[in-house]
Amino acid sequence: MSANKESNLVQAYIELNKFCQNGDYDRALKASGKILQIAPTEQKAFHCKVICHIQLHNFKEALTALTSSKNAALAADLHFEKAYTQYRLNMPKDALQTVDKAPELTPALKELRAQILYRLEQYQECYNLYRDLVKNTTDEYEDERKANMAAVVANLAALNPTSELPQFDDNTYELAYNAGSTMAMRGKYNEALGMLKRAEQACSESVIDDGGTEEEAKEEAAIIRVQQAYCLQQMGKEKEAVTIYQNVLKDKPSDQALIAIASNNIVVINRDGNVFDSRKRMKAATADGLEHKLNSRQRSAIAYNQALLAIYSNQPDFCKQCCVKLVKEFGDERRAALIEASSLAKEGKKDQAVALLLKHGGNLQFAAVQILLSQGDKKAAVKLLEESEFKYRPGVVGVLCTLMSADNELGRASQLFTDVYEHYKKDEQLMSLRAVWRAAAAAHARAGRSSEAAAAHEALARAEPADKRSLARLVKALAPADPRRAAELAAGLPPIHEIESKIDIDALESSKWMMGAKVVKKTVQSKQEQSPGTPGSELLQKKKQKRRRKTKLPPNADLSKPPDPERWLPKYERTAYRKRRGVRRDVIKGSQGMSTTATDQYDMSKQQTTPSSAASAKSPRVESKQTESAWQRKQQQKKKGKGRKW
């Protein structure tokens, strides 16, 4: 290398060092390019060029430089830079391969690998790697590693709420937020809400202490408030949750993922009401670019809610597209089938909906049964339940018994419980279910199988040895067939005087049991109010006595004679009423304020009908001249006086 070339190279490195220390990466990029023009094999200059691209967020240019064939030798040892650019360009799988190909897993590569595993949703492996990093690394980024590890723990709790996971101190608002999120994923919403409120307060204080404004503190704490709203929503306080979601969205946060989650949760609260608002919110929840900012669980929930919204807004074709997306991107075939079947049932294609649900089988058979029952096809529903794998579950047995009894197939209902006994002979836990035995006894009794009913009551009495009602039912069931054994068992019942003391026989005898439960309740209450031992009864009796008032009679009333039957009629309607003769009142006809002369003019009874007057009345052009009143004359005089000029 010539002396001139070497001096130029030294001068270029001096400039590059100055620009890098000042953070002027644009000029540093030009300086590194100048060095590479002078000496294309300078590995440090190439490294600086890649770092400048990364600092300027030119990740594509950095990756192009690293993967170029002419720079293969220069980029051979830059595994971290290459993996980081791939990670920032949303290529996590390629980034993981690059990290795994590195000859040595340095602490920087470990941290990057943990971030890549988190993006790939491999939470268990990510947790193990972070645990190793936290244990073996001590530097200024220790709190950030713990916060990231707490975020991994929150996602593990969402996948398996019952798993045992470590707890972290809430000395920073990030740790407090992740701890609250973990509690929320485990269903501890009250505890999570308190933790999140502390995290919000700590976040605001931290931002303001660092020199930030209140608006910046509010935006930083927006994600914590959305998590609080989620807890309130899960607790059933939907109005408070909606208020928080709407307030966060009014502030227009810059985080697109936060907007999507808040909008989706508002759609969930709206359900089938306010569909127009839900469609507007769903557009924000399904905007482009969210596939790299939300995990698959969140995106699957949004796609599922979008399909439900399509049903509410009567868009069957779009609903089918959403179901295809659910299957293709998330592999959620069962929920997609359930939504598509709901859409078909709403369109009236119930047979297709049933066929689709039966195709997937499993617990979707219950949805098919629901559709059949909505059609009124009880026999098909019973047949489907009898052929299902859940036939002997207590809930299904109860439904079958109800449907069979409704169709008056009492023998089949009784035989169903016999089959249940045979199926659960060796399972002591399920054989001790009280509700099953009680329903079995009722079904056997309705079918007239007294011995089977007695056996069911006996099993129920064994399962509930302290329950005297079960023993009483057993005695009643055994009385017709085996009175001796019934008498022996009846000896274990409590004496009649103990039961009699707890029953108000007078109230039972006086109650109108034929008139319904409400009437009986009112009668018993009134009986209790009248009883002298009831507290406050004396006060009620006094009030009732005060309300009794004596009947008022006229002062000249003669009680020896019967009252006049027409006493309530008006005088002019009574038989003894006579009109007064000789009294005639002047009837003023016409408009109010009219003079008497005008009144006489319009009184037709005082005028004589002549042919000329009749003709003039018929003619619309002839007008009768009215006599002017005194008030009209005064008004005319005033007008004349005003018009004069002297």
pLDDT of residue 189: 94
Architecture of domain 391-499: Alpha Horseshoe (1.25)
pLDDT tens by residue, 319-334: 999 999 999 999 889 9
- Asked whether the beta carbons of 397 and 389 are under 8 A apart, the reply is no
- Asked whether the beta carbons of 337 and 326 are under 8 A apart, the reply is no
Which conformational region is residue 186 in: left (phi greater than 0), alpha (psi within -120 to 50 degrees), or beta? alpha
Residues 6+ apart with CB under 8 A from 528: 507, 534
Task: Name the stretches of the chain with pLDDT < 70.
Answer: 1-3, 426-433, 463-467, 481, 496-503, 505, 508, 511-549, 581-646
Domain boundaries, the chain: 3-137, 138-254, 391-499
- DSSP sequence for 528-564: HHHSTTSTTHHHHHHHHHHH--PPP--TT--TTSPPP
- DSSP sequence for 299-337: HHHHHHHHHHHHHHTT-HHHHHHHHHHHHHHH--HHHHH
pLDDT of residue 432: 58
Which conformational region is residue 331 in: left (phi greater than 0), alpha (psi within -120 to 50 degrees), or beta? left
pLDDT of residue 613: 41
pLDDT of residue 395: 87
Give the fold, CATH level 3, of 3-137. Answer: 1.25.40
Contacts 24+ apart (CB under 8 A), 573-581: none
Rg (CA), the chain: 46
Cα–Cα distance, 430 to 424 (Å, whole number): 7
pTM over 0.75? The answer is no
pLDDT of residue 634: 59
Residues 6+ apart with CB under 8 A from 322: 303, 306, 307, 310, 339
- Give the 3-state secondary structure of residue 349: coil
Residues 6+ apart with CB under 8 A from 175: 143, 146, 147, 150, 168, 169
pLDDT of residue 579: 75
Cα dist from 85 to 44, 51, 82, 98, 112, whole Å: 18, 10, 5, 11, 11
pLDDT of residue 474: 75
- Asked whether the beta carbons of 441 and 477 are under 8 A apart, the reply is yes
Cα–Cα distance, 317 to 339 (Å, whole number): 12
- Asked whether the beta carbons of 406 and 379 are under 8 A apart, the reply is no
Q: Does 138-254 match 3-137 at the fold level?
A: yes
Which amino acid, 284? A
- Among candidates 457, 433, 432, 431, which has minimal Cα distance to 443? 457
Architecture of domain 138-254: Alpha Horseshoe (1.25)
**Residue with the two structure tokens 């990670």:** 87
